[in-house]
Structure 1
Amino acid sequence: MSQARMKHGSESFFIEGEGLLTTQVGGRTGDEADPVSESETPRAPAPRALAADAAPPFRFSRVGPRGTALGAAATRKLARAMVVGGGGPGDVPAGYTYLGQFIDHDLTMDRTDVMFGDDVRPVDLLQGRSPRLDLDSLYGNGPGDAASAKFYSDGLHLKTGTTLAVPPDRAKPGHDLPRVGKGSSKAAKRTALVPDLRNDENLVVAQTHVAMIHFHNRVLDKLPVSVPPTERFTRARKRVTLHYQWMIRHDYLPRICQRSVLDDVFASGRKLVEPDAPPASIPTMPVEFSVAAFRLGHSMVRATYNWNRRFPGTAGSLDFLFAFSGTSGDMFGDVRLPSNWIADWRRMYDFPAGGRPGLAAPGSNVNHAMRIDTRLTDPLADLPLGSFGGDASIPDGDLRRNLAFRNLVRANMVRLASGQQMVTRLKARGVDVTALTRAQILDGAGGARLDHLTAAEKNAVVARTPLWFYVLREAELNDGRLRGVGARIVAETFHRAMEGSRFSIVRNPEFRPSLGRDDTTFEMTDLLFFAFGGKAGINPLGG
């Protein structure tokens, strides 16, 4: 996910000790780095130092050594092998795919206007925009900041939007993102009024952001009247953030990571990601996490979704979910989300498994994410141009629109460590991790087939496996959950992000949730149920 632009065309990584690396993979023109064509060997741009008085808004670090690019031909072949259709559904409800995307955008904040307002000092940017699970993608700099005040209706509540009536479905207040609503074009009018426009990149992440808005607003409304007006926002944000972190730690992460690794990291601490950092200090973001390990969600994307009563079965195609967003699509000319495209959350999360049998999806037909493995659903071979800021000169079928190619090239451009290098680094830090064998790398378990690589290319892949592919292959061989290298990078990065947050369940281990079914359970289904006040908001179209 992009850290320095609102789309995926160009990314900037201020890596400690190296300077600023700016990468572009066939995205917008005019950025510092040249686009990479199919015929070029992906290369890393030279680091560029920032001026001393320009504190970087987002700092990256390396937790592994620099790697060596795989090579252009093998990179292209690997990318094509990965985008041939997902390897089959796993056991994780599909909503967690896009919850992961929302979380990623919280960890890797854009250079949006709210970050670069004239009244925000560089030191504030560094403190306020860092890899911490603080929900700054939801809150911006808070209602007291001039650039962020536009996200709030009254200085306390976050704004919501109203959908567009499409008979027989009426306009539904509160079920669209708030939108600018003015400007010289429809594109300007439908621009989401949120701190991070990537959260309007597809309909599912946009509806997830809407749910988080409701969560904050309802927590605020439930505060005791005795809480002074000057303390109400901070008190609500603290409660929201701690419940959000608890849900990530105890609901989201165990679904994607081997539980034994999570438990070890959260009980015994980190060995790879800033192990000696002062707990309350500002974290950095490992490029190994951002550019590789946490791109696991790309393999979880489905081609179609049983979306709601108007678009059931396979009618909710991924193309439609891109189209009904303000960043990747144009909502077919509308400036607000049509009411017939509101999410039915019962179909994206398993509410009966979460203790609410009355909220079962019709026919118990909950969408399940694709298994985490080395195969991506085939629509991701041809991304919409709006999703990465590409221009009209990039034709359909061009490899620069292939998500796997974009991920692999970007890793080459920042000289990311290979899977083998990360195994060595982890062992040196005292982590017990088993390296994948040659056969496991080449053959996998129902994932990408590498038969079409030459013998030399196979040897290169085995010797220096791209980290993203390596992490996905590990998961593929572990029933769709991260293990080994991938699990350790993800678990430690999340631990550090929570530890360094202003409100932290790591630094406050006594915290227990109060908004779920009991004082030990708070899952995403609990968050949605609380946020929307029950069934009517979870499934506003009925049926």
Structure 2
Amino acid sequence: MAPASDRHQQAPHHGRDAFFIVGEGVVGDAPDRAFSARANTSATSAAAPAAPTFRFSRVGPTGVRLPEATLRKVALAMTGGSETDGDIPSGYTYLGQFVDHDLTFDATTVAFGDDVSPADLLQGRSPTLDLDSLYGAGPLDPVSAHFYEADRTRLKVGKTTKIGSDVARVGFDVPRVGGGGVDRDLADIPDRRNDENLVVAQTHAAMIRFHNRVVADLGPATPPGERFEKARRKVVLHYQWMLRHDYLTRICDGAVVKDVFSGGRKIVEPGADPLTMPTMPVEFSVAAFRLGHSMVREAYDWNARFPNGSGTLDLLFFFSGTSGGLGGDPTLPSNWIADWRRLYRFAQVGHGELKPPTGEFNLARRIDTRLVDPLATLPMGSFGGSVSDEGTIRANLAFRNLVRARMMKLASGQQMAALLRANGVPVTTLTKAQLRGSGGRSTASLDGLTAPQLDAFLKDTPLWFYVLREAELNDGVLTGVGARLVAETFHRAMEGSTFSIVRNPGFRPSLGEKDGRFRMADLLLVAFEGRKELLAPLGD
């Protein structure tokens, strides 16, 4: 859900060169070593290549390409004016981005605006919720081994840089490439997109701590050779439980989520062999799961050093390794460590003492058809652009999303609604009046379109816009087409994971402080040992 990014930076040796795209063929000629091993396939010769197990797919039909001139007007309407807070804590915005990077990685080299089909998208990692963005291919893999400590069980942590009275702290940054030189500030993690902004980087650092705490709690009875696998299994299952019962139910209509997880999928690989590698629907990755872009705030009450909205979005880019170079420091400056109390509600998990100062809690913006102004002018590092792109429409995130879908000939919202109905899902197609909107607060006005442009847009509405308008009409929660696409893709991604709460329905979390409950706040309590001085190290 990359809040401000559609960069395509390949993590070294963490991709593949050949992919089978359902109905559209094979691209490339080399099998992916890490995931072939995971599927118990042997190395193949050039004379007899194995069928790839790792694919993008197209769930719906191909759609109509609207002119870029129309999309330009819509993008400008989506990124201007005021926005409204929703009810979801802001941490979930960037948890969504972290999850997106766990699921998808488009490593395609293609000119922005060029026509492209799913067969041209080179998927760089497994479309399962298995945390490969955190673990790589594991500590025994020669490429991924450097992410781990010498015990080949714990993940390496980073250390912040002392700034004034804020001392250097171990474990509050992602590990970074050291030794000076051009690359000294690059994150040494399997997916460097998780250093694209400060919030997702801090989320990744917290996930490292979570894994290491689970390792520490295994105790000496677990043989050394079993410690990593046992810890990863526990981490992944708790992570999936949290996504199913905490994250999904916040962003999606709960009834839709319950129906999918109890009644099964209707359009995303219904009836698939649970043990096969899932595909990644382009309707999800290019449209529906870009919902998080509308949740981004323009400014955050970040910590005790940057309260009262002084943690601006621009600064959260600036103090990351990918988009801003950490402000010139070799690692994250200590005064920019996250105060998690301002991003998640710990009172909801029984820790009312872990509250931020009054008025300093961050709510995500409501899921709707509006994006905050800073997303109209992305820094070039956040999307792999050039200097000439800065300040132009090519740096507008809404425009990039709309054009990306156009490149893919993505199905319209109306087409996806019809597909769901044909498969027994009672979804109502939005009317033209609903799609046009009222033009009020946090509603993208389409009044700038000419009559022919408006008619064409309302007839074949881009799926991303359509999903956001559905949510806008549902008090900022995905419903209809959007909720179904997201919930079904998550279900299949969990089902196909090596460790799976879908295939193991008897699993219940053991790490939360209440039986059967494990939310993101619970995960952070484990990661930071339930201590205020670790969750908010800079104090109030």
Give the equivalent residue in structure 2 for 1:426: 420
Structure 2 counterpart of 1:16, from 15, 18, 22 = 22
Structure 2 counterpart of 1:106, from 102, 105, 109 = 102
- For the residues of structure 2 that align with 1:151 and 1:523, how far apart are their CA atoms? 26
- For the residues of structure 2 that align with 1:392 and 1:57, how far apart are their CA atoms? 38
Task: Give, as a single letter, the amino acid of the residue that structure 2 aligns with 1:65.
Answer: P
Once the 2 structures are TM-superposed, how far is the Cα of residue 111 of structure 1 from its aligned partner? 5.4
Once the 2 structures are TM-superposed, how far is the Cα of residue 316 of structure 1 from its aligned partner? 0.1
Once the 2 structures are TM-superposed, how far is the Cα of residue 5 of structure 1 from its aligned partner? 3.1
Is contact 2:159–2:172 with CA below 8 Å preserved after alignment? yes
- For the residues of structure 2 that align with 1:384 and 1:3, how far apart are their CA atoms? 11
CA change 1:51–1:173 in 2 (3 A) is farther
- For the residues of structure 1 that align with 2:190 and 2:82, how far apart are their CA atoms? 32
- For the residues of structure 2 that align with 1:435 and 1:528, how far apart are their CA atoms? 40
Once the 2 structures are TM-superposed, how far is the Cα of residue 355 of structure 1 from its aligned partner? 1.6
Is contact 1:86–1:302 with CA below 8 Å preserved after alignment? no
Once the 2 structures are TM-superposed, how far is the Cα of residue 353 of structure 1 from its aligned partner? 2.3
Q: Secondary structure at the match of 1:285?
A: strand
CA change 1:441–1:21 in 2 (3 A) is farther
- For the residues of structure 2 that align with 1:311 and 1:362, how far apart are their CA atoms? 12
TM-score (norm 1): 0.88
Once the 2 structures are TM-superposed, how far is the Cα of residue 496 of structure 1 from its aligned partner? 0.3
Q: Secondary structure at the match of 2:388?
A: coil
Task: Give, as a single letter, the amino acid of the residue that structure 2 aligns with 1:410.
Answer: R
- For the residues of structure 2 that align with 1:374 and 1:21, how far apart are their CA atoms? 35
- For the residues of structure 2 that align with 1:395 and 1:264, how far apart are their CA atoms? 44
Q: Deviations over 1:19-42 (max 9, x none)?
A: 4799xxxxxxxxxxxxxxxxxxxx
Q: Where do 1:511-530 residues align within 5 Å?
A: 511-530=507-526
Task: Give, as a single letter, the amino acid of the residue that structure 1 aligns with 2:360.
Answer: N
Once the 2 structures are TM-superposed, how far is the Cα of residue 201 of structure 1 from its aligned partner? 0.2
Once the 2 structures are TM-superposed, how far is the Cα of residue 204 of structure 1 from its aligned partner? 0.1
- For the residues of structure 2 that align with 1:278 and 1:525, how far apart are their CA atoms? 34
Structure 2 counterpart of 1:203, from 187, 198, 201 = 198
Once the 2 structures are TM-superposed, how far is the Cα of residue 182 of structure 1 from its aligned partner? 2.6
Q: Deviations over 1:176-226 (max 9, x none)?
A: 1100113532xx011101000000000000000000000000000001321
- For the residues of structure 2 that align with 1:127 and 1:294, how far apart are their CA atoms? 16
Q: Aligned pair 1:71/2:75, yes or no?
A: no
5+ long unaligned stretches in structure 2: 12-16, 29-45, 109-121
Give the equivalent residue in structure 1 for 2:9: 5
Comparing 191-200 with 86-95, greater Cα deviation is found at 86-95
Is contact 1:109–1:137 with CA below 8 Å preserved after alignment? no
Is contact 1:517–1:526 with CA below 8 Å preserved after alignment? yes
Q: Aligned pair 1:385/2:380, yes or no?
A: yes
Q: Secondary structure at the match of 1:393?
A: helix
Give the equivalent residue in structure 1 for 2:155: 158
Q: Where do 1:398-437 residues align within 5 Å?
A: 398-437=392-431
- For the residues of structure 2 that align with 1:221 and 1:171, how far apart are their CA atoms? 23
- For the residues of structure 1 that align with 2:59 and 2:437, how far apart are their CA atoms? 28
- For the residues of structure 2 that align with 1:110 and 1:196, how far apart are their CA atoms? 12
Task: Give, as a single letter, the amino acid of the residue that structure 1 aligns with 2:298.
Answer: A
CA change 1:190–1:128 in 2 (3 A) is closer
Q: Deviations over 1:352-401 (max 9, x none)?
A: 122210100111531000000000000000000001111112242x0000
Give the equivalent residue in structure 2 for 1:96: 92
Q: Secondary structure at the match of 1:273?
A: coil
Is contact 1:14–1:21 with CA below 8 Å preserved after alignment? yes
Q: Secondary structure at the match of 2:243?
A: helix
Give the equivalent residue in structure 1 for 2:129: 133
Is contact 1:83–1:376 with CA below 8 Å preserved after alignment? yes
Structure 1 counterpart of 2:172, from 175, 183, 188 = 175
- For the residues of structure 2 that align with 1:344 and 1:92, how far apart are their CA atoms? 17
Once the 2 structures are TM-superposed, how far is the Cα of residue 15 of structure 1 from its aligned partner? 3.1
CA change 1:387–1:472 in 2 (3 A) is same
- For the residues of structure 1 that align with 2:48 and 2:256, how far apart are their CA atoms? 40
Give the equivalent residue in structure 1 for 2:333: 338
Give the equivalent residue in structure 1 for 2:480: 484
- For the residues of structure 2 that align with 1:420 and 1:319, how far apart are their CA atoms? 36
Q: Aligned pair 1:373/2:362, yes or no?
A: no
- For the residues of structure 2 that align with 1:341 and 1:286, how far apart are their CA atoms? 36
- For the residues of structure 2 that align with 1:331 and 1:424, how far apart are their CA atoms? 47
Q: Where do 1:99-498 residues align within 5 Å?
A: 99-109=95-105, 129-154=125-150, 155-182=152-179, 184-185=181-182, 188-363=183-358, 365-396=360-391, 398-443=392-437, 446=441, 447-498=443-494
Is contact 2:266–2:423 with CA below 8 Å preserved after alignment? yes
CA change 1:423–1:189 in 2 (3 A) is same
Once the 2 structures are TM-superposed, how far is the Cα of residue 331 of structure 1 from its aligned partner? 1.5
- For the residues of structure 2 that align with 1:151 and 1:324, how far apart are their CA atoms? 22
Give the equivalent residue in structure 1 for 2:116: none
Is contact 1:516–1:522 with CA below 8 Å preserved after alignment? yes
Task: Give, as a single letter, the amino acid of the residue that structure 2 aligns with 1:335.
Answer: P
Is contact 1:57–1:130 with CA below 8 Å preserved after alignment? no
Task: Give, as a single letter, the amino acid of the residue that structure 2 aligns with 1:278.
Answer: D
Q: Secondary structure at the match of 2:353?
A: helix
CA change 1:200–1:280 in 2 (3 A) is same
Is contact 2:54–2:278 with CA below 8 Å preserved after alignment? no
Once the 2 structures are TM-superposed, how far is the Cα of residue 85 of structure 1 from its aligned partner? 4.2
Once the 2 structures are TM-superposed, how far is the Cα of residue 74 of structure 1 from its aligned partner? 1.1
- For the residues of structure 2 that align with 1:127 and 1:229, how far apart are their CA atoms? 34
CA change 1:201–1:20 in 2 (3 A) is farther
Is contact 2:379–2:390 with CA below 8 Å preserved after alignment? no
- For the residues of structure 2 that align with 1:184 and 1:165, how far apart are their CA atoms? 20
Q: Aligned pair 1:542/2:536, yes or no?
A: no
Is contact 1:107–1:133 with CA below 8 Å preserved after alignment? yes
CA change 1:379–1:51 in 2 (3 A) is farther
Q: Secondary structure at the match of 1:69?
A: coil
CA change 1:3–1:453 in 2 (3 A) is closer
Is contact 1:3–1:109 with CA below 8 Å preserved after alignment? no
Once the 2 structures are TM-superposed, how far is the Cα of residue 16 of structure 1 from its aligned partner? 2.2
- For the residues of structure 2 that align with 1:298 and 1:86, how far apart are their CA atoms? 15
Comparing 65-74 with 436-445, greater Cα deviation is found at 436-445
Once the 2 structures are TM-superposed, how far is the Cα of residue 71 of structure 1 from its aligned partner? 1.4
Task: Give, as a single letter, the amino acid of the residue that structure 1 aligns with 2:159.
Answer: T
- For the residues of structure 2 that align with 1:369 and 1:128, how far apart are their CA atoms? 29
- For the residues of structure 1 that align with 2:186 and 2:383, how far apart are their CA atoms? 16
- For the residues of structure 2 that align with 1:294 and 1:86, how far apart are their CA atoms? 23
CA change 1:408–1:19 in 2 (3 A) is farther
CA change 1:335–1:402 in 2 (3 A) is same
TM-score (norm 2): 0.88
Give the equivalent residue in structure 2 for 1:29: none
Q: Secondary structure at the match of 1:482?
A: coil
Is contact 1:442–1:450 with CA below 8 Å preserved after alignment? yes
